Structure 1
Amino acid sequence: MRFLSILALLIVVAAVGLGLWVRLAPSDPEVWNQMPETASKGARLSIDAGPDGLARLSAVAAATPRTSVLAGSVEAGMMTWVTRSKVMGFPDYTTAQQQGDVLTLWARQRFGEKDFGVNAARLAQWQSGLAQPQR
């Protein structure tokens, strides 16, 4: 019985440690604020957004819950945001780059192999937000 109590305690400690790592692990802007030619995971989207697409997208992203700017700026032509899941706080990174009128977005998860469609759904939501009239 004592063995099971110790095992249960170790499992709880490991789960808490993992939860803390997910929430507190630093995000290196050098690693995440980039736009590769091809992406092996996550979701990509290129749209004709006009010359102010990144500025408008920045406003859409700012209105997204649990989302903050990691790196970049509208003036630099590229930005990366971190969006955290509601319960566990898993970080997903979305990078957008403006080239002329074309806005390219790449959303990907940091942990795990599957994102269960969350990143593609965020890109669709942000694209929809871009289509809304600005107030």
Structure 2
Amino acid sequence: MAWKIILGVAILLLIAGVWVRVAPLPKSRLTAKPGPMEPGAHPMMGGIKVVRPLSELPPDAQARIMDIAAATPRTERVGTGDDPAAFVTRSKLWAFPDIATIWTADENLHVHSHLVFGKGDMGVNAAKVARWFKALEAPPE
């Protein structure tokens, strides 16, 4: 009896693991520009939204942070638009997708990164966006 339960749980985990890898990403999330719109770091359940004035950032901040995002491990650009630009980063073990959108509006750079499945991301998106801004603001080598 116990082996049937273990087998059942293993099969469910396998199905879940396959599903998060092949499930279609919500198209509306790849083009959304959610608020808040005022400058600051705005934590939310499952992600973060950071809005920074372009005047406080290096020149070509949007293009540079998009290059930084594209260079992030397990991250791929989705689509070709820049308004917003969308990136998907997948976790190492389960390949859970997180969607990040980057755009400029009202002289501000907006970066919104949020999980696709579940409710809590354990701070992964906030840490990733913080690394992106740190790399953006680092002095050139």
TM-score w.r.t. the length of structure 1 is 0.85
Paired residue type of 1:10: G
What displacement does 1:29 show? Answer: 2.7
Structure 2 counterpart SS, 1:73: coil
Percentage identity across paired residues of the two chains: 32
Distance of 1:124 and 1:31 partners within structure 2: 21
What displacement does 1:97 show? Answer: 1.2
Q: Runs of 5+ in structure 1 lacking a partner?
A: none
Question: Is 1:98 aligned to 2:104, yes or no?
Answer: yes
In structure 2, the residue matched to 1:33 is: 31
What displacement does 1:127 show? Answer: 0.5
In structure 1, the residue matched to 2:63 is: 55
**Could you say if the C-alpha distance between residues 111 and 21 of structure 1 is closer, same or farther in structure 2, counting changes exceeding 3 Å?**
same
What displacement does 1:4 show? Answer: 1.8
What displacement does 1:134 show? Answer: 5.3
Paired residue type of 1:6: K
On the 8 A contact 1:45/1:106 being kept in 2, the answer is: yes
User: What does the per-residue CA deviation read over 1:20-72, in whole Å, with 9 as the maximum and x for residues that have no partner?
Assistant: 01111111333332112248531111112356222111110111000011235
In structure 2, the residue matched to 1:129 is: 135
On the 8 A contact 1:53/1:98 being kept in 2, the answer is: no
Q: Runs of 5+ in structure 2 lacking a partner?
A: 37-41
Distance of 1:83 and 1:31 partners within structure 2: 14
Distance of 2:113 and 2:80 partners within structure 1: 15
Paired residue type of 2:17: G
Distance of 1:57 and 1:28 partners within structure 2: 23
Structure 2 counterpart SS, 1:20: helix
In structure 1, the residue matched to 2:39 is: none
On the 8 A contact 1:82/1:91 being kept in 2, the answer is: yes
TM-score w.r.t. the length of structure 2 is 0.81
**Could you say if the C-alpha distance between residues 72 and 98 of structure 1 is closer, same or farther in structure 2, counting changes exceeding 3 Å?**
farther
User: What does the per-residue CA deviation read over 1:78-107, in whole Å, with 9 as the maximum and x for residues that have no partner?
Assistant: 111111111111111111111254101111
Paired residue type of 1:127: F
